[in-house]
Amino acid sequence: MKLYLAPMEGITNHIYRRAWHRHFGPADRYFAPFLTNIGLNHKELADLLPENNKGMELVPQILTNRPEIFLELAETLRSLGYTEVNLNLGCPSGTVTAKGRGSGFLRDPRALDEFLEKIFARCPLRISVKTRIGYADEAEWPPLWELLSRYPFSERIIHPRLRSDFYRGPVRIESFAHAYRSAQTQIAAAAGIPASPPYAPASPPAPSGIARPSACPCYNGDIFTHADFQAITTRFPALPAVMLGRGLITNPGLARELRGQPPMKAAQLRGFLEELEAGYRAVMSGDKNVLYRLMEVWSYLSNSFDEPEKIRRRIRKAANLAEYEQIIKELLP
Ligand SMILES: Cc1cc2nc3c(=O)[nH]c(=O)nc-3n(C[C@H](O)[C@H](O)[C@H](O)COP(=O)(O)O)c2cc1C
């Protein structure tokens, strides 16, 4: 079972990824937060430069509904050495969906189909996708899944929520189960075997360079504990990979725990946090900016401690990094 680090805008940038990789990694793959515009800005370029991502298999992500933007960005990514790009069909933010991008693109399957046809015809890189299961109604999913299954995505990662769910409420596991079952049937048919779930996708060989459209989808959503992970992998035994987002920011040792290693120790977390702070100090001016970034991480990480709200309040009140460091010293003696 592969474990992926989710893209999280404002959190899982190269500074976070590098510190996490050294102290708690590796993940099998790392996904970078989305790009939207042609011509990478300084921050985006720094995030993707191979020298800032040494030793990690990183997949950049694009959020657009315009084929020409996708293709031009893909070309830029190719020139940086990337061989795969991920398409974002999940972002629920109002400013994004209002423009028909992210999960907003799921509202217009015809336009999505045309877009996919154009990018698959010319993209120099493999294309994977990270998608929600619809915009406002679970009934949207079976035809959307059918549409996504017609294109040779190298990987299809599903966060089984609607746009209207944002990140709230239980995941809609039956929609994930629909995609899983349909992929199992396709895999079995391609191998000439009658479908008898659970049929493990023993990776039938793909023609070189061509992805298998029938490959089993990857799961993403609400994995915070070993028990959450077990529930998913027991129900879907042929899952090739699970992507971890908020659960891993809350408990940076989660991936190791899922691989059977002991929970993280205070000293490990301290080392990680010191490297994170140093990483931000190196690229940002002013304590306030660095504190803001660290606070984003702590908004999740605090939930691994007793009295998380109290911790968040204390860190929010820190006037400078010296005060922040004192708080960390007390929390992680
Ligand atoms: C603050 C934040 C930023 C995110 N940024 C991205 C992003 O850039 N691209 C993307 O595909 N998903 C993004 N996501 C969604 C996550 O990758 C993931 O799909 C979601 O959090 C559900 O997984 P989880 O329950 O493991 O966190 C973001 C989520 C959050 C909370």
The runs of H, that is alpha helices, within the chain are 14-24, 42-48, 67-79, 94-97, 109-122, 141-149, 173-190, 226-235, 246-250, 254-258, 266-283, 287-301, 308-317, 321-331
How remote is the CA of residue 277 from the centroid of ligand 1, in Å? Answer: 22
The dihedrals phi and psi of 216, each to the nearest 5 degrees, come to -65, 135
247 lines ligand 1 (CB under 6 A): yes
The alpha carbon of 249 and the centre of ligand 1 are apart by a number of angstroms equal to 11
Long-range contacts made by residues 93-102, C-beta under 8 angstroms, separation at least 24?
96/63, 97/135, 97/163, 99/65, 100/65, 101/36, 101/63, 101/64, 101/65, 102/63, 102/163
pLDDT at 201: 43
**C-alpha span between 142 and 294 (Å, rounded):** 40
Residue with the smallest CA separation from ligand 1 atom 22 is 221
In short, whether 8's Cβ falls inside 6 Å of ligand 1 is yes
Q: Closest Cα to residue 186, out of 217, 164, 207, 218?
A: 217
Residues of the chain with pLDDT under 70: 194-214
In terms of Cα–Cα distance, which of 40, 47, 33 is closest to 5? 33
Q: What is the DSSP letter of 150?
A: T
Q: What does the pLDDT read at residue 191?
A: 81
Ligand 1: atom nearest CA of 223 is 26
Alpha-carbon 96 to chain mean position? 17
Q: Is the pTM of this model over 0.85?
A: yes
Among 3, 9, 301, say which to mutate for ligand 1: greatest number of ligand atoms within 8 Å of CB.
Answer: 9
Question: Looking at residue 329, what is its pLDDT?
Answer: 96
Output the pLDDT for position 215.
86
